[in-house]
Chain A
Amino acid sequence: NAGVMQNPRHLVRRRGQEARLRCSPMKGHSHVYWYRQLPEEGLKFMVYLQKENIIDESGMPKERFSAEFPKEGPSILRIQQVVRGDSAAYFCASSPFGVGQESGNTIYFGEGSWLTVV
């Protein structure tokens, strides 16, 4: 049973380009979360999605960032017109149920995607 799969592991973009990060949740998991880890800092929540729905995007920057989790395929975190400050590790996590439900609410993380903006 594969874990949470993220790709690419490393991505380099020039300022102004677009970055797309992909996340395939664990099999059977329909809840996806994205977190950002800035250098030498802890992780910060960005967005929580279920299939075809954004449930909570309170941690997403208002501009340039968007996320989706389509009916088919991986979840995508998209950053338009990247700037140097977007350089960070972006972690995707998944869980089988929403956090408010006791059973199975352990959240498993992928290996992260490291974005470098030059």
Chain B
Amino acid sequence: AQKVTQAQTEISVVEKEDVTLDCVYETRDTTYYLFWYKQPPSGELVFLIRRNSFDEQNEISGRYSWNFQKSTSSFNFTITASQVVDSAVYFCALIRTNNDMRFGAGTRLTVKP
């Protein structure tokens, strides 16, 4: 079975706070890819990051960072010093070597000024 769980349905923080969005996945495959997408209120899906299952290095891009831990099947996303413009729904997704990308249900992040 292949499944992505984003247990946090909604998170609300005040601007400048750090926030971590959790993503836990299930797959029996040894080769797979993990993604994070952002869906702002305008509705489009914005690609944030792709990580393959053999690369457990954490990644930092500006205020964004990702922590990939195969031991716990997690691929968590942290926003440092959050801003109002970070308000969006964030989706974690998993794809194997087939073509079926499985998305989590999404976490709605609200950053208040």
B105–A42 CB distance below 8 A = yes
B50–A106 CB distance below 8 A = yes
Please count the residue pairs between chain A and chain B whose beta carbons lie under 8 angstroms apart in the complex.
64
Q: Which residues of B contact A109 (CB under 8 A)?
A: 37, 44-47
Complex formed: what's the CA distance from A105 to B44 in Å?
Answer: 20
A89–B105 CB distance below 8 A = no
Chain B, interface size category, equals: 20 to 34
Chain A, interface size category, equals: 20 to 34
Q: Which residues of B contact A55 (CB under 8 A)?
A: 99
Top 4 closest pairs, chain A to chain B, by CB: A109-B45, A100-B97, A48-B99, A111-B44
A-B CB contact pairs (8 Å), 8 listed: A42-B103, A43-B91, A43-B101, A55-B99, A98-B99, A100-B98, A102-B52, A112-B44
- Beyond A48-B100, A58-B100, 5 additional pairs, beta carbon < 8 A: A42-B105, A98-B99, A99-B33, A99-B101, A105-B33
Q: Interface on B for A, CB 8 Å cutoff?
A: 33, 35, 37, 42-47, 50, 52, 91, 93, 95-106
